[in-house]
Structure 1
Amino acid sequence: MNSTVWIEALASLQQQDEACVLVTVIEELGSTPRNAGAKIVVSAARSHDTIGGGHLEYKALQIAREMLADASQQPRLERFALGASLGQCCGGATVLLFEPMGRAQARIAVFGAGHVGRALVPLLASLPCKVRWIDSREAEFPESLPRGVERIVSDEPVDEVANQPAGTYFIVMTHNHQLDLELTAAILARNDFTWFGLIGSKSKRARFEHRLRDRGLASDVVQRMRCPMGLAEVKGKLPMEIAVSIAGEVIATYNANFGTQAAQDKQPLARLLPSSRRA
């Protein structure tokens, strides 16, 4: 029976932002000793757990590492007829599923540890994301953080904008409108992000657009800001409802960009999405 070593390995590799392939025995045809559902995690350097060893596992490792070398992002199914070619004396076949995973699809900076932030961050942490959670108020953070979340307590949150890598997803939802404005100006001035969402209403967006243009930011850059942010189809005013809406837009964005060239060089998905209805 397959162990749970693969689960811990997968979580560890994702935490380290290291690409891997999860290989699963999907189907057994004929008389073979392998168990459907057995899994092995394959990284460039190592493999974790087993699907039963032998030449079939050797071939699975070979295919998985070819996928890693090619930076393949698409899952694939492979059917192996058991016989002389795989060193088997019996007939039958095994179907294997190869799933690329383990590498974070999004690096997210969340500014604000209020009610919506506390609902949103655990959702983001359950996705293939690495999250930096930033606030000046240490007491607002929960005592324990989900795996993959880094807490940053800073008296100058705006300074943290410059510390994020290019292609970051920025989410601004602080307790202070002026701080929101300063963060927004710093993020838009960089203009190398994948996605930027600001919590607020349409009237807040209008006020911010006016002030940002007064600061010399170009209209096309300001238009990259998602405010209100989140998917309009996910309605509700509760913190968790808003968090689900925001997380849904993040998922839509990284799936749209997954496997493509650097996201910041492409048209932002925000331009393709309808404006949120939250006022």
Structure 2
Amino acid sequence: MLLMEKVGILTRQNETFALAMIIESRGSTPRHVGKMIVYKDGSIEGTVGGGLAEYYIIEESVKAIQKGKSKIVEYKLNKHAKDGIQMNCGGTLRVFIEVYTSRPELILVGAGHLGVAMAKLADSLEYPYCIVDDRIDYCTRERFPHATNLYIQEDIGVALLEANLNEKSYVAVFPKNQDDIVLKTALQFPCAYIGMVASKRKAITIFEKLKSEGITEEQLKRIYSPIGLDIGSETTAEIAISIMGEIIKVSKEIKSEKTAKEETRLNKGERTTIK
């Protein structure tokens, strides 16, 4: 398999990784062209020449992944040169490290008009999404041609479990009914976001029911309701935009928090282990 084919597969699988690519090579270097996929744990596919330079490039790639920022690095492969590394080649190598970060994985619970509007936005943003519903005539490939999966069960909680919720999952809840079942199911998992379309009165009623079934106040605080940014939205399309805006906002906040934690760790002198 060609390396760029693997990049395409990893992108479709919504994985986080870096692609290190030689963009300039002057003088004597192990390779003048080369590409290398670097994973979060420091494992690689491909090569940019091996040796100490490649070791440093892997190290910098892992740091770039942790920070979520692409960068260009340059090395003098000459141990006698100022700022050179312990190599005898004598040339200079410049490498572009492009970071591919995972995108929010949308779990759209509800295949009605709002589900269709959300799916169209997800398509334009190239966000992966699946549809969960209990209505077989609504949850169809004709309505959602680009969905990664369609999960249909009479018990919508069972359908939601099939979506394999995880820390990348952004769950937007707007089914025809069974909202409480959906929320109770979603709260079992470390989802990045859980939002529910509901009036204040409906939300209070659902929350009281969930509390009577053992859901804690702390768990309920994880739910965004009313859902979406407050932009005065009224139409289905406007509501979808407000929800997507909130999901983007939350995803950026999560990434910023992770970056801040990683920078704190690095500032304390902890180093990434290269495998």
Relative to the length of structure 2, the TM-score reads 0.65
Counterpart amino acid of residue 120 in structure 1: M
Counterpart amino acid of residue 46 in structure 1: E
1:142-162 CA distance string (max 9 Å, x none):
426327x22222222111333
Counterpart amino acid of residue 223 in structure 1: K
Classify 1:62/1:172 alpha carbon distance in 2 versus 1 (closer, same or farther; 3 Å): same
Deviation, 1:182, is 2.2
Classify 1:198/1:13 alpha carbon distance in 2 versus 1 (closer, same or farther; 3 Å): same
Alignment of 1:38-49 (within 5 A): 44-47=43-46
Deviation, 1:171, is 1.5
1:43-72 CA distance string (max 9 Å, x none):
64434xx9xx879xx957961465248852
Which residue of the partner structure matches residue 265 of structure 1?
none
**Secondary structure of 1:205 counterpart:** helix
Which residue of the partner structure matches residue 271 of structure 1?
none
Which residue of the partner structure matches residue 172 of structure 2?
171
Alignment of 1:28-177 (within 5 A): 44-47=43-46, 59=53, 63-64=57-58, 67-68=61-62, 72-75=66-69, 76-79=71-74, 96-102=95-101, 104-124=102-122, 129-140=127-138, 141-143=140-142, 145-146=145-146, 149-163=148-162, 164-167=164-167, 168-174=169-175, 176=176
Classify 1:81/1:110 alpha carbon distance in 2 versus 1 (closer, same or farther; 3 Å): same
**Secondary structure of 1:228 counterpart:** coil
Which residue of the partner structure matches residue 199 of structure 1?
197
**Secondary structure of 2:159 counterpart:** helix
Asked whether the equivalents of residues 73 and 100 of structure 1 are also in contact (C-alpha less than 8 Å), the reply is no
Correspondent of 2:254 among 236, 254, 257: 257
Determine what percentage of the aligned residue pairs are the same residue: 21
Which residue of the partner structure matches residue 229 of structure 2?
231
1:203-255 CA distance string (max 9 Å, x none):
3222222332333322222222111111224x422333222221222222222
**Take 2:117 and 2:36, find their aligned partners in 1: how far apart are those partners?**
33
**Secondary structure of 2:67 counterpart:** coil
Deviation, 1:187, is 2.7
Counterpart amino acid of residue 156 in structure 2: P
Which residue of the partner structure matches residue 241 of structure 2?
244
1:179-220 CA distance string (max 9 Å, x none):
1122123333x2633321001222322222233233332222
**Take 2:45 and 2:125, find their aligned partners in 1: how far apart are those partners?**
24
Deviation, 1:80, is 5.2
Counterpart amino acid of residue 108 in structure 1: L
Asked whether the equivalents of residues 79 and 94 of structure 1 are also in contact (C-alpha less than 8 Å), the reply is yes
**Take 2:106 and 2:184, find their aligned partners in 1: how far apart are those partners?**
18
1:63-116 CA distance string (max 9 Å, x none):
146524885233233245799989688xxx8865423215x3444322111111
CA RMSD of aligned residues (A): 4.2
Structure 1: 5+ residue stretches without partners:
262-279
1:5-38 CA distance string (max 9 Å, x none):
8876543212234432145788x8x9xxx9xxx9
Classify 1:136/1:78 alpha carbon distance in 2 versus 1 (closer, same or farther; 3 Å): same
**Take 2:88 and 2:134, find their aligned partners in 1: how far apart are those partners?**
60
1:108-142 CA distance string (max 9 Å, x none):
32211111111213433565754332122233234
**Take 2:63 and 2:73, find their aligned partners in 1: how far apart are those partners?**
18
Asked whether the equivalents of residues 199 and 228 of structure 1 are also in contact (C-alpha less than 8 Å), the reply is yes
Classify 1:101/1:64 alpha carbon distance in 2 versus 1 (closer, same or farther; 3 Å): farther
Structure 2: 5+ residue stretches without partners:
27-31, 80-86, 260-275
Relative to the length of structure 1, the TM-score reads 0.64
